[in-house]
Amino acid sequence: MPRCLLIDLDGTLVDSEIANCRAFLDLLPDLPLTLPQLIASYRGVQLDRIIEDLTQRHGVAPDADFVPRYRAHVAGLFERELAAFPGVAEALDRIDLPICVASSAPRDKIATALQITGLAGFFGDRLYSAYDVRAWKPDPAVFLAAATGMGVTPDQCLVIEDSAVGLAAARAARMPVLHFTPHEDGDQDAQAEGRFTHWQQLPDLLAAAPWGVAIRG
């Protein structure tokens, strides 16, 4: 039975990928990609890597202050429209297991997203950012740091992820992973130990074999 649940933020707890990608279209109007194409190509990918890839593939030339402008623009979109996926709070309330966030996002973005969506109370200060370890998914460092911070070993963790890079990071950390696929364009990972499409399904999935997690209510 797992002793700790490590949960990704963007696209897993909160439905943020649309805002994250729409900000590129708002700030780079000459970008020859649609919103669905951006989401499919860059779900879970670290910001600097996205900018580098867009520059190489599509010849965009973000100015020197693009990153802070992008962060500010996303923050404004979050304030207006960010929401948790349906059923997240109810599912977390039923799971009798220590939980934390392990994300490639900056710590302040994690905290803001949880506050806006009403999920902050479930996690407290148990927020682990790739920016703290200076290594981004698919590197497993943020998951390994989260395990250390939570006082468990990698084999005692269970990861919840939505993106290909996150799933790869979990496997590199030698942690079992459940694949959350809320959208039709989501990657289907045959190597994940389980899959769910709605958060309402998670408590029953965790209660069943092989996990055997205690569920409240």
* Catalytic residue IDs: 8
What is the DSSP track for 20-77? HHHHHHHH-TT----HHHHHHHHTT--HHHHHHHHHHHH-----TTHHHHHHHHHHHH
Cβ(11)–Cβ(132) below 8 Å: no
Closest CA to 102 of 161, 43, 152, 143: 143
Give the C-alpha separation, 53 to 34, whole Å.
Answer: 16
Give the C-alpha separation, 142 to 111, whole Å.
Answer: 16
What is each CA distance from 75 to 29, 81, 142, 181, in whole angstroms? 19, 10, 23, 25
Cβ(110)–Cβ(127) below 8 Å: yes
